Amino acid sequence: MDLRKLPLCSLAFFASVCAAQSITVPAGTPFPVQIEDHLPMRVGQAISAELIYPIYIDNTEVLPAGTVVSGMVVGLHANHSQRVSARLRGDFTPFRTPVVRFTGVTLADGTTVPLVTGVATDGAPIYRLVAPPPRQGGFVHQQWDNGKQILKDKLAIVTGPDKGDRLKQFLYTQLPCHPQRIEKKTAWTVETSEPLSLSQTAVETVAKAQPVAATPAPAETDSRTWIIQAYLGGGLSSATSKSGEAIEATVAEPIYNPDHTIAVPEGATIVGAVTEAKPARSFGRGGTLHFDFRQLILPSGVTQNVQASLTGADSAAPDKLALDSEGQVKPKPQDKLLVPFTLLVLAARPLDVDKGEGAGGGFGKNAVASNSLGAIGFIVGTALQQRNVAAGLGYYGAAISIYERWIKRGRDVTFARDTRLVLQTTPRNSTMLPSPKL
């Protein structure tokens, strides 16, 4: 044997051993991450985020929820629609949207491995839409329930957590220009651009800390029902989607049978179609989107018929979208009367001249009328001491409110690619698969 070849053989042997002791997260794997604190809106700002959901490979959890993912802001894009809306109210802040990229993952053993992802620009605080129980009663009862929900949402603004911070941000919005920040709980979902290699030791550490990683079914559901966590395979919008359009989602977590065999493996594809899609229309009429799933394709290629409906979804606009018990998503009912009516009443106050008042009217009346345009309106309306000017500013603010609530095109329902879905699935034929072992 040629002794000169021994070093090369040894190197190849150790390389093969290291490869066998590592687990690879393939390119295209979604990484949903979320920050826990407010961050400055600037290029180069470091970001420390956490995984919202665990990452599974071959039905084994390799990265738990809460894993730290690091990155930075690599650019700022102008937010033109927000700028136009703000300037109509006297706010000239140059609103921007951060462009972020993530570059590292800190494993359970404390080591940091490089991560290569694409950029993300659709960051926003996300919350889980949950389907409520079926509504009881007729039209009047349902409208009453809508009114109570609107009141509850309004009260949450002044009674919920961080109300002091919300007050400060509200005062900022009254200024003609104010600082902008990346909000706490802002989330992005990025896909890996290159495979991510993880050590077997780190994965085993995760497995020991969480020996059973199964998605449990709620106690009130039928034993034949699966609750599937999945990522939407492509974007959906009530503005562009058509009834009958094919859709698919990828199962994110394995589903276990009572005997701990795998009923639905991670990586399976669930296929469905859009059943209803209505674009938003003028006069404040919002869009409607409804879809379901009818077929499950296992990684082995086995196809299985299922009946699935949407019971939950992550949304960047939980205060503007609602999910009903049948899986239909549409905009929440808006308060279309209170705000415009209040602004109209305040706008008329300067014209209500009391005995003894001059042509300028009262300072307080001018202030409450013109304040609908923030600090600029307040200064102009009170400094000129002209009640007609103050009333005009007030009516202008009321007109904007009426336009946005009654005339403007309504909001479309949109789900981005890799949106996290919760599907309630009733299988017709169950396929038993062996449970994975490390």
For the segment 397-423, what is each residue's pLDDT rounded down to a tens digit? 888 888 888 888 888 888 888 889 888
For the segment 322-337, what is each residue's pLDDT rounded down to a tens digit? 666 556 676 666 677 7
Q: List helix spans (H) across 139-240.
A: 139-159, 163-173, 200-209
pLDDT mean over 27-34: 91
- The DSSP H or E segment spanning 348 is helix 338-348
Task: Classify residue 311 by burial, with Cβ atoms within 10 Å: 0-12, 13-18, 19+.
Answer: buried
Q: What is the pLDDT at residue 357?
A: 55
Distance linking the first and last C-alpha atoms of the chain: 38
Among 399, 394, 403, CA closest to 374: 394
Domains defined along the chain, listed by start: 21-126+185-210 (2.40.128), 214-317+412-427 (2.40.128.260), 338-407 (no CATH)
Q: Are 53 and 67 in contact (CB under 8 A)?
A: no
Tokens of 40: 């400055």
b/e burial code for range 39-61 (CB count within 10 A of at least 16 → b): bebeeebebebbbbbbbbbebbb
- CA distance to 29, 75, 125, 323, per residue, from 44 (Å): 25, 8, 21, 38
* pLDDT greater than 60 at residue 8: no
**CB neighbour list of residue 112: distance below 8 Å, 6 or more residues apart:** 70, 104, 105, 106
Q: Are 287 and 410 in contact (CB under 8 A)?
A: yes
Q: Are 321 and 121 in contact (CB under 8 A)?
A: no
Chain mean pLDDT for the chain? 77
**CB neighbour list of residue 77: distance below 8 Å, 6 or more residues apart:** 96, 97, 98, 99, 121
Amino acid letter at 290? H
Q: What is the pLDDT at residue 56?
A: 92
- Please, what is the angle between helix 387-402 and helix 363-370, to 10°? 30
pLDDT mean over 23-46: 91
Q: What is the pLDDT at residue 15?
A: 42
For the segment 258-306, what is each residue's pLDDT rounded down to a tens digit? 888 888 889 899 999 998 888 988 888 888 888 889 989 888 888 888 8
For the segment 109-158, what is each residue's pLDDT rounded down to a tens digit? 888 899 999 898 878 877 766 666 655 555 555 555 655 655 666 566 66
Tally of CB atoms within 10 A around 431 = 16
Task: Classify residue 191 by burial, with Cβ atoms within 10 Å: 0-12, 13-18, 19+.
Answer: middle
Q: What is the pLDDT at residue 54?
A: 93
Residue with the larger pLDDT of the pair 203 and 272: 272
